[in-house]
Every structure is written in structure tokens, then in C-alpha cells.
Amino acid sequence: MSDWDVDSSDSDSVIRPRKVTFAKVASVRLIAEPTQYQTTPPSCRVLGCSLPVDIVLRSSDGVSFGAHANNLAQSATGLPPAEREVRQQSNDEDETEIVQLVESADVLELLLQYTHYQRQPSSKGWCFPLLERLAEAVEKYRLFGAMEVCKLRMEANARIYSQEVLSYAVKHDYPDIRDVIMPQTLSWDLEDIQSTLGDSFLIIAWVKYREQYLKLSTSFPSIDAESSLHTVPRCENGPGWELVEAYVKQATRYPDCLRELPDFQKTFSRKVFLLSRCPKCRDRVHNWEQKINDRYATIKQFASFV
Ligand SMILES: [Zn+2]
Ligand SMILES: [Zn+2]
């Protein structure tokens, strides 16, 4: 069972990626049930904190964290103590409630730092697996103070962890990140994009988005460079033109072009140095580039299909 399926018996709580809204998420009961009480709670681990501990959060790997119900309530809408207050009326006031959560200790440690009025922890040292789990927990509990940093860090990892970050962006309604990653998905298998997007509406949008690239790639062979701008057929300044021509044709050939097309504007500039000795060949390649770019300019962004 995933973190999001805690209330799976309630159809209203099923979170569909494109339909996540503040009101809907806030209404979902995401915390685990309190499991037991103890009389000697652990102290708060946040450096310099002297607030009294009145609630204990226990991680999935068994580490207990002393916490403060008011801080939790003011920092996040999904964390205790909303349910705790109801339950404590029937329990001894000296006892401290323990709430079992599904997050591991490294995630809880960071989460709790964001519930204190102090400088926020540095995100530089977060490895991606930790960041991914933290970002998920931050969204799940609506810990607003940590959302933006997690979003920025996830976005910074979009090129290397494109599938994971795209899944996060879709699930938590960050279309700006989604659309940045979309060009990378052109070469993905349909199964991969299906499992990542999850939503049939988005999958259809992706098929339409990709279709325009497929059509573009089939049109490239008909866009040739001018035969020559030289007074003699061949360039007298070495094989630069042949190298550039071969490179561009390879970059525009299906299916390789699906990897190249998102960065297509760089295709010519990567190789134009080969023509540095011949102004005629440089003019020739610029003309060719312009013709292809005119066709490329007809491509629409993914968002226009949603
Ligand atoms: Zn504290
Ligand atoms: Zn030349």
C-alpha cells in the first residue's frame, strides 16, 4: 500500500495527479493512527530547541522524535495534532501520545526542522533518494515551508532523474516542471510514459505532443541545404562541409532525432566551427539552419495539448 492509499476505502480521498488541489489534499486524512502512549518522551532533536515535548513521532524504522503539537499544526495541515486533541481528552494528561508514521528517520528529522522557527536546513547534501522521499512527505503533510525548496531541488534533478521528477511533478501538480521534462520523454517507450503519467488524459496529450515531432522528423530529409555557394562544386578549404552535413542528417534521422530534437537549436552551433575557414560554407549552413528552424518553430509545447 502506498502512502497515498491510507484512506483508500474513501473514494473521495483518491488523489489523481492532475486534479490535486489545495482543498482536496487538505481534506485527506494522511496521518497514521496514534498507537500508544508513553510517560517519558524523547527530547526534541532540533538544535537549541527548549520547547516542551507534547507529542512523539515514530519513524518507520523505529526512531522516536519529540515534537510540539502547536508547531506541527502551524507548519503543516496534514500532520498531527488535529486527531490527537480529540483523543487526548480521554487520556491522562501526563501521557505523551506516540504517532507512528510511515516515513523513515532521516526524512522525519528534516521534516521536524521545518516546524521550528529557525533557519532552515541546508539542502545541499541531500542525495536524490532522500530528496525524493522528503519531497513526497512534504507534499503529503502540506508542510508549506519546505515545499518550494523541495520543488527547486527536484527540478534541479530533472535531467538525471527525469522519470522520478516527472512523476512527482504530475502527482503534485507542478506543470512547469512537467513541461521542462517533456522533451526528454520523446524517446521513451509508451509503457514508461504510461507508468509515469498515470493519467489517461495526460497520456493522450503526450501522444499528440510526440506525434508532431514524428511528423517533423519525416519532413527533414526534404529540407536540403543549397547545393553549393562555391564557384567550384567542392569546398577548397577541407572536408568541413561534409562533416557538418553528415552530423545534421544523423541528428534529424528517426529515431535518433527524438533524442536530438529537443535541443535541436544546438545541433548546428556544435559543428559550425568546422567551417571557420570558409565564409561561403558558413552562409550555406546558416541558410540550411534557418529553413529547418522555420519548420521546427511550428512545434507546440506540451501544455498546449493539456
Ligand atoms: Zn523542538
Ligand atoms: Zn566552403
pLDDT tens readout for residues 252-277:
777 777 777 777 767 778 888 888 88
Phi then psi dihedrals of residue 113, to 5 deg: -60, -35
Q: Name the average pLDDT for the chain.
A: 80
Q: Where are the alpha helices (H) located in 142-278, listed in sequence order?
A: 144-156, 162-171, 175-181, 190-197, 200-219, 240-251, 257-260, 265-271
Range of the domain at 240: 207-305
Q: pLDDT, tens digit, for every residue of 96-155? A: 788 889 999 999 999 999 999 999 999 999 999 999 999 999 999 999 999 999 999 999
Whether 85 maps to a domain, the answer reads yes
**How many helices and strands, by DSSP H and E, does the chain display?**
14, 4
Does residue 178 sit in the same domain as residue 259? no
> Which ligand has its closest atom nearest to the C-alpha of 47?
1
- Identify which has the larger pLDDT, 207 or 29: 207
Whether residue 266 sits in one domain with residue 178:
no
Residue 190 lies in a domain: no
Look-up of cell digits 561561403: 280
- Closest ligand, as measured to the CA of 239: 2
Co-location of 117 and 66 in the same domain: yes
pTM flag (> 0.85) = no
Mean pLDDT of the 14-40 span: 39
Centre of ligand 1 to C-alpha 117, Å, is 9
- Compute, in angstroms, the gap from residue 132 CA to the centroid of ligand 1: 24
- Which ligand has the shortest distance to the CA of 232? 2
Q: Report the DSSP beta bridge partners of residue 36.
A: 98
State in Å: Cα 279 to ligand 2 middle. Answer: 7
Q: What is the dihedral of CA 30, 49, 120, 18, to 10 degrees?
A: 10
